[in-house]
Structure 1
């Protein structure tokens, strides 16, 4: 009996030692960070700066792999095809986390069960903006004008199913408006036409739009957050102006394939939080109007699932389908 106890004790000690060695060894090779958008955009810029800070901490290269297309589903497919060993991760946002399961009739993954949730990065606030010559100068004036002229008005977005599109649909539902959606292929051409007055209305993320808001090339009327954005403290929220339900943003976090080792998830979460505090990333957040939301993997999962449920109702009411 004593020999059995000693044997079991030795086995337990070996298991603990193996677990400690795994935790110390990770990461022992380069990591791949999938970005489901083209290089050069706000998400890509954010990913590259975070990866640079994390690889200095990890002592391993982190390689950005841009996989754009199909409402981020191409990137998700590449991530899910990888081994769940902690060496392939993906920067996910509203599409993969919140929207696609409600917009696609046949989605080859379930975000509630097919991802490893690593950690929340934060959110890009969105603001309602208009061309400077637009007749309304306040949200109340905009709402009144849109109700009187809705059949003549249209708004721009970077594309069907984008956070900007859904933020505007949420506002329309809350305010009882009927404004036609004009989807573009990206934020840049949409902003160009808003600044030119061809399509004078847009829900604009601060990562892309903060410089043109501050320069006066567009007029911001309200921000879709529960509290004012630190990047534009003078801009009131929709809630302050009487529409408490207009809460929308581009939500970002790190995910990986289902079944990643807990040690790898914990190390990635800690490394992400450390990177978010680096001076270069803090400056980038401020320049982008990006609001960090550090938290545990469990926090990330709970927030994502609650937001998915909320947006599912908005998407159903708007009738948005992408297949």
Structure 2
């Protein structure tokens, strides 16, 4: 015989289930009510002055992404302190997705090892969104230096230890550290001559005051194409479409040597993951745009599309690599 309490138990079970369902709806309501991102303009911090290569790339990408998300993306240039002023502004912004910014190899991979005081931690103060661009480096020599290949240049450097001079656009940058790495790798001794940017270094190189320069292709392409500078080798894993006839260091006899500048997009730590994912998706779409790809190619710059995890891994790997070079070379900079 069925128990008299069974109907009441069934009613209680149904009531309990209905209460749980109602609680679930109430809990889900705030999430369902969240407005789609973005609802206002997004600020993109660029740690370099307006008009330079980094600024041009940021504006190209920002315009394409703004068209896709339906809100303006406004460039805010904050140069200075080896890109640390801009990096600090990104790290200390509210993590709501409305402040992002360009970080580069100097901002997050070199500065922590070069300076005693860095106002942020590259391993914990950023939400990395994705890579943007890679600036290949090419080793160029003055037109009257009697070498045509990397082998000939290294032979000359060994014949004249401590006599040949190389330029950099500033101490502690990837150009300088790349040449420090090269000297250790092939056992040569060169003299470092730091300049304030690419332009004066290139002028002195063409004028014969210095002998060589590991320089980004964006700055050097016009002079290479006009015959004013002689390219020797590209410090990348593969050849550049901008300089298809120039061998890599590996092809020229120095395997395992790579040095280049790279950049990416970051937000403050604790930016919502769904915002990071949306921005990464739109960033990679922009980088895949034929118009942007063509413009980057004209500049001698390569797109660097990644996932957020891949870009974070690049930052960590490059930090480890260059910290070793900085320590062994004894390079330290004052804030």
Normalised by the size of structure 2, how large is the TM-score? 0.91
Aligned length: 322
The alignment partner of 1:150 has SS state of coil
- The answer to whether the 8 Å contact 1:174/1:245 transfers is no
TM-score by length of 1: 0.94
- RMSD of aligned alpha carbons: 1.7
Secondary structure in structure 1 of the residue aligned to 2:112 = helix
SS at match of 1:25: coil
Q: Work out whether 1:161 is the aligned partner of 2:172.
A: yes
Aligned equivalents of 1:107 and 1:4: distance in 2?
A: 56
**Is residue 266 from structure 1 mapped to residue 277 from structure 2 by the alignment?**
yes
Offset of residue 279 of structure 1: 2.8
Are the equivalent residues in 2 in contact too, given 1:124–1:291 (CA < 8 A)?
Answer: yes
- Aligned partners of 1:195 and 1:5: how far apart in 2? 81
Runs (4+) off by over 3 Å = 1-22
Q: C-alpha deviations, 1:29-74, integer Å up to 9, x for none?
A: 1111111111111111111111111111111111111111111111
Aligned pairs (5 A) from 1:179-190: 179-190=190-201
Structure whose alpha-carbon radius of gyration is higher: 2
- Equivalent-residue separation in structure 1 for 2:23 and 2:179 (angstroms): 59
- Counterpart of 2:46? 35
The 3-state SS of whatever aligns with 1:151 is coil
CA contact (8 A) 1:155 1:181 kept: yes
Alpha-carbon distance, 1:16 to partner: 4.8
Match among 278, 283, 298 for residue 289 of structure 2:
278
Structure 1 residues 142 and 27: alpha-carbon distance in aligned structure 2, compared to 1, 3 A threshold: same
1:235 has 2:246 as partner: yes
Matches of 1:47 and 1:213, distance apart in 2: 26
Q: How does 1:90-105 map to 2 (within 5 A)?
A: 90-105=101-116
Output the CA distance in 2 between the equivalents of 1:57 and 1:145. 54
The structural deviation recorded for 1:10 is 3.9
Give, in whole Å, the separation in 2 of the partners of 1:42 and 1:142: 30
Once the two structures are TM-superposed, the CA of residue 11 in structure 1 deviates from its matched residue by 4.3
User: 5+ unaligned residues in a row in structure 1: which ranges?
Assistant: none
Distance 1:4 1:177 in 2: 80
Q: Secondary structure at the match of 1:311?
A: helix
Q: Is the 8 A contact 1:127 1:204 kept in 2?
A: yes
